Amino acid sequence: MTYNALSRSSAVSSGGFIDFLTCPEKYRHWKLRFAGDVAELVMDVDENAGLFDGYQLKLNSYDLGVDIELADALQRLRFEHPEVKAVIFKSGKPRVFCAGANIRMLAGSAHAHKVNFCKFTNETRNGMEDSSEFSGQKFLCAVQGTAAGGGYELALACDQIVLSDDGNSTVSLPEIPLLAVLPGTGGLTRVTDKRKVRRDRADAFCTIEEGVKGKRAVEWRLVDKVVPGSKFDAAVAEMAKELAAKSDRPADAKGITLTPIERTISTDSVTYSTVNVEIDRAGRRATITVRGPASPPPANASAIHAEGAQFYPLRLARELDDAILHLRLNELEVGTLVFKSEGDPTEVLAYDALMDANKSNWLVREILNNWKRVLKRIDVTSRSLVGLIEPGSCFAGTLAEIIFACDRAYMFAGQMKGDNRPEAHVTLSPLNFGAYPMSNAITRLETRFLGEPETVEKAKAAIGQALDATDADRMGLVTEAFDEVDWEDEVRIFLEERASFSADGLTGLEANLRFAGPETMETKIFGRLTAWQNWIFQRANAVGENGALRRYGSGVKAEFDKKRV
């Protein structure tokens, strides 16, 4: 079976905003092919289908639109094709695998777009590694031709890389010598931390414009195998077969269809079936209200399969993910995200119990892994995050993870006069204690109470208890609790104060405080790489009139300010 591109991707809608919703029938840059337990993701970029005007996507170079399609394809492989155990990345163009991020796009994009582009591509590639480790879907990159910059970074996200030994095929990270920027999608970190390349060799590799090929690439651990061109296809097939043998994905399961997400977008709001976004432009904030389930959970795993993409936890995760991405890329002046919820917390806990009881089922495992990725997306979003736990809210179990992801969480104590909604409570479920680790590989509660492991144990002992404002405050699950006398003023003061601070200062503050505890490859990518690239993308050496990105391909050398800063 093959999905072929049929029409132009709608990554930019008629209204001008960047749209993250697509489907295989709209792909312009990727083709999906299936043969038993192995799938092929063929990169064949339409050079005339860039996200914006002003550049062509030559040599399989990519922009955000290409990666939006890739993210969609990976999600469909997870949910629609449980039989796929190994995925082969390959090029649909001769003599080039992928030239990386499009240079003209980077040179002409606004700073915020460049940074958000890199963040999204990082999340997509981290998601591939997450699928390999936790979903059993393995990845093999078959490199014929040049894999440069982001092209090699895509290969690095795979479990194995095989390189054609044909005198033409190379891998390289040439950003420093050619562009005066860093590899933006985890290349430096994966070379040293994942592939264990020796530091001096990594230093040399990242300053060699032409890259490394043949046996030297294997010796330096840049690839796993080099194979003569005449034997390349057979070697790729054998390696994919070996990877598939390591997978525990079910061979006989039937996937579910990821039906289109329905939403209504207006000037100041985005409405989904389970999520509502209201934008206060004067206050530079957006309120994201998550609605609890409208009905009890189905009886068992078979019924979950029958509901498919309409199963409440999956539907909510997909809608919340789209809302976060929409705010990131299309609402740059919205500096604070206010999370609220409404619904019956006992129903949320019932869904949690169903998923916990069936977590070995392939589909439930994918839903839990998807929630993990969505929550990580919230963690690394460069906005101030605040949770407001009010009467009638349903921050329980999985949904409580949202308030634990926030920089602050305020809880209303008691009931509001004239309001018949039930008093606010926070309730924990077993899923709060391991199902959704952060980028630092520990839970949000473990991160919150890094110096107090005994507090985590006390929280675990309170699983299933409806904790009122006094209890939640005493246990450290919220920042502060206020009664009706103080609630409105305290929340207003916080939001006004947040809006008055420097956006740059807040981004730095939040990113430094959110990821306490162990450092992982993922935290290095978002903590070190994103911060450095954010800075470098504003420096004249890269983006100035005479900088490397501007002069690339012109035949005129860039002019560098040589002072070390």
Residue 546 lies in a domain: no
Confidence of residue 189 (pLDDT cuts 50, 70, 90): very high
Average pLDDT (274-299) is 97
Q: Give domain status of residue 283, yes or no.
A: yes
Q: What pLDDT was estimated at residue 438?
A: 97
**Whole-number pLDDT of residue 532:** 87
Contacts of residues 257-260 at CB distance under 8 Å and 24 or more positions apart, as own/partner, are 257/80, 257/308, 257/309, 258/75, 258/76, 258/79, 258/80, 258/309, 258/318, 259/308, 259/309, 259/310, 260/21, 260/23
Q: Is residue 421 part of a domain?
A: yes
- Predicted local distance difference test score (pLDDT) of residue 12: 56
Residues contacting 5, CB < 8 A, separation 6+:
26, 27, 28, 29, 30, 31, 46
The pLDDT score that the predictor gives to residue 17 is: 84
Are 181 and 328 in a shared domain? Answer: no
Q: Model confidence over 348-404: pLDDT tens digits?
A: 999 999 999 999 999 999 999 999 999 999 999 999 999 999 999 999 999 999 999
Per residue in 110-127, is it b (16+ CB within 10 Å) or e — as a string? Answer: eeebbbbbbbbbbbbbbb
- At residue 530, the pLDDT reads 83
Residue 117 lies in a domain: yes
pLDDT 10s digits, 312-349? 999 999 999 999 999 999 999 999 999 999 999 999 99
389: left (phi over 0), alpha (psi -120 to 50) or beta: beta
Say if 173 falls within a structural domain: yes
Q: Tell me the whole-structure pTM to 2 decimals.
A: 0.95
Q: Does the pLDDT value for residue 6 go beyond 70?
A: no
pLDDT class of 5 with cuts at 50, 70, 90: very low
Q: What is the pLDDT of residues 441-454, one digit of tens each?
A: 999 999 999 999 99
- Calculate the CA 145 to chain-centre distance: 28
- Per residue in 123-155, pLDDT (tens digit) is 999 999 999 999 999 999 999 999 999 999 999
Kindly state whether residues 285 and 343 are assigned to the same domain: yes
Q: What is the pLDDT of residues 227-274, one digit of tens each?
A: 999 999 999 999 999 999 999 999 999 999 999 999 999 999 999 999
Binning pLDDT at 50, 70 and 90, where does residue 528 land? Answer: confident
Confidence label for 13 from pLDDT (cuts 50, 70 and 90): very low
State the pLDDT at residue 529.
85
| CATH for 195 | 3.90.226.10
Q: In what order do the strands lie in the sheet with 38-43?
A: 2-3, 30-35, 38-43, 86-91, 138-143, 160-165, 225-228
pLDDT exceeds cutoff 90 at 470? yes
Q: What is the number of structural domains in the chain?
A: 2
Q: Which residues, at least 6 apart from 151, have a Cβ–Cβ distance to it below 8 Å? A: 60, 97, 98, 99, 100
Q: Is 355 within 8 Å of 313 (Cβ atoms)? A: yes
Cα torsion angle, 34, 247, 87, 163, sign? negative
Q: Which domain holds residue 186?
A: 2-245
Last residue in a domain, options 212, 245, 278: 245
Split at pLDDT 50, 70, 90, the class of 63 is very high
Residues 161 and 216 in one domain: yes
Q: Are residues 139 and 189 in the same domain?
A: yes
Same domain, 235 and 295: no
**pLDDT reading at 10 higher than 60:** no
196 & 294 share domain: no
In sequence order, which residues have a C-beta less than 8 Å from that of residue 427 and are 6 or more positions away? 345, 349, 396, 397, 400, 464, 465, 466, 467
Final residue of a structural domain among 196, 213, 245: 245
* 486 and 388 in a common domain: yes
Q: Which tokens is 491 given?
A: 């929340």
Question: Are 43 and 84 in the same domain?
Answer: yes
pLDDT at 416 over 50: yes
**Pair 50, 163 in one domain:** yes
Domain-embedded: residue 252: no
Residue 523 lies in a domain: no
Report if residue 50 sits inside a domain. yes
Is there a single domain that holds both residue 422 and residue 481?
A: yes
Q: Grade residue 16 by pLDDT with cuts at 50, 70 and 90.
A: low
**136 and 283, same structural domain?**
no
Amino acid at 61: S
Instruction: Give the alpha-carbon dihedral of 293, 297, 303, 309, to 10 degrees.
Output: 20
Average pLDDT for the chain: 95
Based on the fold, state whether residues 239 and 268 are members of the same structural domain.
no
* pLDDT tens by residue, 91-103: 999 999 999 999 9
